[in-house]
Amino acid sequence: MMSKLELKEDKMLEVQFVGDDDVLNHILDREGGAKIKKERAQLLVNTKKIVKKPEYDLEEDDQEVLKDQNYVEVLGHDVQESLKNGSTTDGGNKVYSFQNRKHPEKMAKLGHSASDKVQLKNNDKSEFLSTAPCGLRKRSIVPRSHSDSESEYSASNSEDDERVAQEYEEDANEVTLGQKIQAQNRVVSAPVCKETPSKKMKRDKTSDLVEEYFEAHSSSKVLTSDRTLQKLKRAKLDQQTLRNLLSKVSPSFSAELKQLNQQYEQLFHKWMLQLHLGFNIVLYGLGSKRDLLERFRTTMLQDCIHVVINGFFPGISVKSILNSITEEVLDHMGTFRSVLDQLEWIINKFKEDSSLELFLLIHNLDSQMLRGDKSQQIIGQLSSLRNIYLIASIDHLNAPLMWDHAKQSLYNWLWYETTTYSHYTEETSYENSLLVKQSGSLPLSSLTHVLRSLTPNARGIFRLLIKYQLDNQDNPSYIGLSFQDFYQQCREAFLVNSDLTLRAQLTEFRDHKLIRTKKGTDGVEYLLIPVDNGTLTDFLEMEEEEF
Amino acid sequence: MATSSVSKGCFVFKPNLKKRKISVPVENYFSKGKNESEDSKLRFETYQLMWQQMQSETERLQEELNKNLFDSLIEFLQKSHYGFQKNSRDWGYQIKLREIPTAALVLGVNVTDHDLTFRSLTEVLQHSVTPYVVSLQAKDCPDMKHFLQKLASQLVDCNVDVQSKEKESVQVTQKRIHYSMDSLSTWYMNVTQKTNPKMPRKKRTSSQWQSPPVVLILKDMESFATKVLQDFIIISSQHLHEFPLILIFGIATSPVVIHRLLPHAVSSLLCIELFQSLSCKEHLTTVLDKLLLTTQFPFKLSEKVLQILTNIFLYHDFSIQNFIKGLQLSLLEHYYSQPLSVLCCNLPEAKRRINFLSDNQCENIRRLSSFRRYVENQASEKQVALLTNERFLKEETQSLLENLHVYHTHYFLILRCLHQFTSSLPKYPLGRQIRELYCTCLEKNIWDSDEYASALQLLRMLAKDELMTMLQKCFKVFKSSSEKQLGNTEKRIEEFLAQFQSLDEAKEEEDTPESQSKGLQKTDLYHLQKSLLEMKELRRASKRQTKFEVLREQVVSFIDSLVREYLLPPETQPLHEVLYFSAAHTLRQHLNAAPRIALHTALNNPYYYLKNEALRSEEGCIPNVAPDICIAYKLHLECSRLINLVDWSEAFATVVTAAEKVDANSVTSEERNEIIHARFIRAVSELELLGFIKPTKQKTDHVARLTWGGC
């Protein structure tokens, strides 16, 4: 603040001579301007204004000769306010702390320091926070000293700024992590300070979460360590070993969990009642609700027609749900032109026959496959029928966003919180989870299953396609093998004798979802196997072993 | 049969037919749930009866409220079709011929309620205007082809409804034809000409018109593709002379949207008239008025519950349907959870039921806190009798219930009365809507609140005509009520009114002498000033209240005494638990759940759910024995946008091994590490399922965080 005042005085010295009229004009002007500024200072006590203010000053500098005390006061007020603001922000930070200072192995460090009780970070965080205003004050002075040397203050291009940031960074680091990682710190701060100059400072001062969000997402650079799983011996586990390993873990808190579950089981009758009265039930909360629903099914639904739908099953679709209703529940053998037709047919059927009752149990209504707008609309329409009762579970954090008002009124939900803490064993077992993805044993086994039932020629055809795809795996613009080329290759390998036989074969593949066809830009059909290359290589190896 | 498989996701369970026959009646679920199944069957029946009554009441209300709108709509339709009918050569009509008559129906943002409105509108139109009413939704009409197809098939269906089924076979084959506007107009010509000879037969249905118009309702005009809409309007305006189309747009936002969707060239083809439906707030007020602020239904909501329901309405959806759903749920919950709710029915029936109460139920009555309070205030012999003698208890309960009924009758009358007085005060100290007033009255003694004091203050400053209109309104309220129990009050108000009227004459007499005595005298400026000052002093000193002021004071204190006597909060009444549903918490949980908060709490503070002392911890940190997913979650909060899996897993391992020190010897360290890694993998994939992280290709072995903020 002092430097600011000095700055003002410097400018006052420039005053030479001004005519009375001018002075009067300026006083009048000034008063108006001051008023505006006062208001602004009151409205915008956040710190961005401070950064902007010097700029504002300089612009007006030419015309403005009179600096009234008032204005300076306002500015001073502003800064004080902002400092106060800054400290309150820190209070807020405790709730929403966002810490961008990402150091390699910091987490490991934290883990170490929290060996007996995970004080995960509260300790060092609070230290950090307590020092923040100090750094902040320092910071808020520095840019101002630039403002008389530079014509315009800009947040990004000053070198000094970076230096300050670096200083600050080190400062914070020291306090935060203590002496034990100082050595490391020196290594760290070099990349860090390139990244986080003034932005970080601004963020510390304002409590605006929104701003924080965009700042964190604006930089494309990522500040994490470069360690990869490959260096660890036990990087990849397949589903089976994972399951075996986990079976050795003794479950904790089983008594409490049991109690929780019993609590929920007492609600079964109430659910049935409410389902019958036209409500539908949705379960939410942490933990797999599959077992709970399964128990509900076995205790309450033994004598009713019901359909269990595993939303987490990767191949699930609304079509298959509707199919199982029409084919298995209603014993209808015909086909439908579209899903909507099918839905209409089902709705009519259920409206006609009021004695017909159907329970739908959907595990993970919010799964990848079912969360689409159309699927939700259709399921909602089904559930709005009087004699279809829906009980579903949702897990995803943002699951309720699937439903707008219209859908919500279709569903007519009653929400029940069922936090079970049970593991999502079944839900995550379908080869889609993070660290087990690579094993690919499911598509592999299905590949082998399907191919085993084919003729040797068909297998040959498929192997040709696999090989071609593997040969092109490094080609990023590879869109598939065109039909003509494929036909040519097959002919050369004496696998087919006409393109009709090849087409018949391809239809079969397509039915088993082994290949996908895509029209290229030139209108030619391209064939692609929608399985990842690792699986394909494994498959080829297996094939070769067999023969 | 297992419900998990790698090859399919749907499992149908069909019990064999014999078993299926024994379907469990619904009331069994009602009774089995609770251990104490006192009169559960009766309770369920009462619930159903009550709900049916409420439902039919709301439906009736809906109809009533829509009536005005529909009437004006029908009038518009008739008027606009009149020209087509007359086929006049009038010039103005020729211009008009190119314009499609269009009714823009502004219905408000509560889209969920629109369906109901449209359904009844269709019915009304079919009944009184034309058999050809078609309603389309945007999601059925992604392009022109589907649009016409839907339109045509529904039109044909309408036709089938009206005519005999003789041509059904023809129509079925038609279904697959590609429709165009031409084919539609020829169809229309056919139909109308065919029906003309038969006119006498169906004169009543399609009213007096020879060629009934085709009314097309676009339920959600905003969501239609502009292209489809424009094309359709242009094409159909060309065919208007042979295909008399009338459009009805359902608009949720504002009428401006028509011009935003349609360019001038298109909108000039429409002759738009605007219709505004009743605002949903007014609708809510009527629903509340007819369902809750009445003694017709004994069931009542407590302050908190009512607050929650109105808040959901006002801040979430503006949907009457949802409000009624909430009402239904609270009704159900009340009958389900309160054994004494068996007495929550009309008074004679309740009295009859009291006689058949079991001993257990009598105990339940004695356990009611309001009843206990009541007993404590009685003389000691009576106390003993109430607590020991069942018969005496039942008689007492009967009289208490009756008192409760009387209390409600008075309550609502006085409430309405008070509302008349306060609803037009400046700044609305007690709220503009009666529901706000009702909430405050339910919550506490209203006369203790500051708002009430300021309202009375404002009332004391009212002018005479305002006060009189209020009194008149109050008088009407009393008049309209069928119960004559507050006849005395009614008389008092009448008296007040009469007094005010007589005041008019009295005042004139009073005023004249005064003005004459201070008649104008010629004087200079100084003296005038002086005399004015004197007069002012005089007035202030002898500030005598006029008759009007006295009377006003009387009225206000009269209102005040009424309020203090009758607007006692229901908690003060014995046995109020029988009629009032107060479990606001359950209602909020089931209607307005917060899944994100639940998830966050479960992850952040497992002790909240698992009441294990080992999990107890201070704010912001969690013990290392917590479930794996909680630890992984807590660690991931440390990171910004991307998370390095290796670091994460190491941190996780450190935390977890620290917790496991005890049984470290049982397994080899290598195996233990493996297990921990497996646990980590599980936790990570669970977090992925929950939507906290997702795999990313930005950097190897990293995952992206999907949430913001933390801890």
Across the A:B interface, residue pairs with CB atoms under 8 Å apart total 346
Continuous segment of H or E residues that includes residue B271: strand B270-276
Chain position carrying tokens 């966050």: B600
Least confident segment among A152-156, A185-189, B492-496, B648-652? A185-189
Bridge partners of A519, per DSSP, are A525
CB atoms within 10 A of CB A151: 10
Note the pLDDT tens digit of each residue in B200-227: 444 344 444 567 888 899 988 888 888 8
Return the higher-pLDDT residue of A99 and B311: B311
Q: CB of A530 within 8 A of CB of A513?
A: yes
Query: Among B215, B226, B214, B213, which Cα is nearest to B138's?
Result: B226
Query: In this structure, is the dihedral angle defined by the CA atoms of residues A508, A509, A511 and A516, taken in order, positive or negative?
Result: negative
**Residue B695 backbone dihedrals phi, psi, to 5 degrees:** -65, 150
Say whether pLDDT at A135 is over 60. Answer: no
Do A405 and B625 count as a contact with CB atoms less than 8 A apart?
A: no
Q: Kindly tell me if the per-residue pLDDT of A26 is higher than 80.
A: no
Q: What's the gap between Cα B330 and its chain centre?
A: 13
A-contacting residues of B 381-410, CB under 8 Å?
none
Q: Answer whether A273's CB lies under 8 Å from B33's CB.
A: yes
Q: Find where tokens 């300021």 sit.
A: B454
Place of tokens 């392009």: B143
Q: Is B697 an 8 Å CB contact of chain A? A: no
Query: Mean pLDDT throughout B556-569?
Result: 90
Q: Which residue has the tokens 């002759």?
A: B271
Give residue A450's pLDDT: 78
Alpha-carbon span B329 to A278, nearest angstrom? 11
Spatial CB neighbours of A169, under 8 Å, sequence gap ≥ 6 = A101, A189, A192, A193, A196
Contacts 24+ apart (CB under 8 A), A139-142: A139/A164, A139/A168, A139/A201, A140/A47, A140/A50, A140/A79, A140/A82, A140/A83, A141/A1, A141/A3
Contact B688 A433 (CB under 8 A): yes
Q: How far apart are CA A305 and CA A331, in angstroms?
A: 13
In this complex, the residue of A106, A227, A315 whose CB is nearest that of residue B646 is A227
Residue B124 has pLDDT above 70, yes or no: yes
Please tell me which of the candidates B599, B638, B648 has its beta carbon nearest to residue A286: B599
- Are B243 and B181 a contacting pair, CB within 8 Å? yes
Q: What is the pLDDT of residue A221?
A: 64
Q: Which string of b and e fits B443-455 if b means at least 16 CB within 10 Å?
A: beebeebebbeeb
Option in A119, A231, A397 nearest B691 (CB):
A397
- Short-list B255, B217, B215, CA closest to B141: B217
Answer whether B82 touches A (CB < 8 Å): no
User: In a 3-state reduction of DSSP, which class is residue A264?
Assistant: helix
Measured in whole angstroms, how far is the alpha carbon of residue B489 from the centre of its chain?
34
B510-552 pLDDT tens trace: 544 444 444 556 677 888 888 888 888 877 766 666 788 888 8
CA dist., res. A297 & res. A359, Å (int): 9
Enumerate the residues of chain B whose CB falls inside 8 A of the CB of residue A430: 6
- pLDDT beyond 60 at B234: yes
Closest residue in A to B22 (Cα) is A303
Q: What percent of chain B has pLDDT over 70?
A: 84
Q: What was the pLDDT predicted at B331?
A: 93
How do beta strands A525-528 and A516-519 pair? antiparallel
Shortest CA distance from A314: residue in chain B:
B9
Nearest-CA distance from A310 to chain B in Å? 5
Using CA of residue A431, residue A437, residue A442, residue A446, what is the dihedral sign?
positive
For residues A509 and A455, give the distance between their C-alpha atoms in angstroms, rounded to a whole number: 12
Q: Which residues contact A34 (CB under 8 A, 6 or more apart)?
A: A68, A70, A71, A74
Q: What is the ipTM of this complex?
A: 0.85
Structure tokens given for B517: 């005595």
Distance from B226 to chain A by nearest Cα, in Å? 21
Measure the CA–CA gap between B154 and B146, rounded to whole angstroms. Answer: 12
B332 Cβ under 8 Å from any chain A Cβ:
yes
**List of chain A residues whose C-beta atoms are within 8 Å of the C-beta of residue B708:** 98, 209, 212-213
Q: Which residues of B touch A273 (CB under 8 A)?
A: 26, 29-30, 33, 332, 336
Higher pLDDT, A63 or A518: A518
Nearest to B304 by CA among B434, B408, B439, B452: B439
Contact A209 B709 (CB under 8 A): yes
Q: How confident is the model at residue A31 (pLDDT cuts 50, 70, 90)?
A: very low
- Residue scoring higher pLDDT (A53 or B561): B561
Distance (Å, whole) CA B599 – CA B474: 52
- Lowest average pLDDT, out of A111-125, A212-226, A291-305, A431-445, goes to A111-125
The whole-number pLDDT of residue A160 equals 43
3-state secondary structure of B107: coil
- Quick: pLDDT tens for B402-459: 999 999 988 998 898 899 888 888 888 888 889 989 999 998 888 898 889 999 988 8
Mutation for B interface: A273, A284, A436, most B CBs within 10 A: A273
Residues from chain A that touch B252, judged by Cβ atoms under 8 A, are: none
End-to-end CA distance of chain A: 83
> Does B611 touch chain A if contact means CB atoms closer than 8 Å?
yes
| A237:B677 CB<8 A | yes
Q: Which amino acid is at A475?
A: N
> Reduced to 3 states, what is the DSSP secondary structure of residue A257?
helix
Helix (H) or strand (E) holding A390: strand A388-393
CA angle, A204 as apex, A200 and A210 as ends, to 5°? 85
CB contact under 8 A, B681 and A408: no
Hey, what are B661's tokens?
């020190």
Per-chain mean pLDDT for chain A: 68
Query: Taking 90 as the threshold, does the pLDDT of residue A391 lie above it?
Result: yes
Cα distance from N-terminal residue to C-terminal residue, chain B:
43
Nearest to A111 among B644, B646, B654 (CB): B654
CA distances from B693 to A229, A424, A426, B685, B688 (A): 18, 16, 19, 9, 5
Query: Measured between beta carbons, which residues in chain B are less than 8 angstroms from residue A277?
Result: 26, 328, 332
pLDDT band at residue B661 using 50, 70 and 90 as cut-offs: low
Q: How large is the average pLDDT for residues B193-198?
A: 56
pLDDT at A87 over 50: no
Residues 244-273 of B with CB under 8 A from A: none
3-state secondary structure at position B493: helix
B681–A contact, CB cutoff 8 A: yes
User: Are B602 and A242 inside 8 Å of each other by CB?
Assistant: no
- Whether B12 sits inside 8 A of A307 (CB atoms) is yes
Does residue B327 surpass a pLDDT of 90? yes
Interface of B with A in 627-646 (CB under 8 A): 627, 629, 631, 634-635, 638-646
Q: Which of B35, B253, B676, B711 to mutate to test the interface with A (most CBs of A within 10 A)?
A: B711
Contact B569, B443 (CB under 8 A): yes
Q: How confident is the model at residue A2 (pLDDT cuts 50, 70, 90)?
A: very low
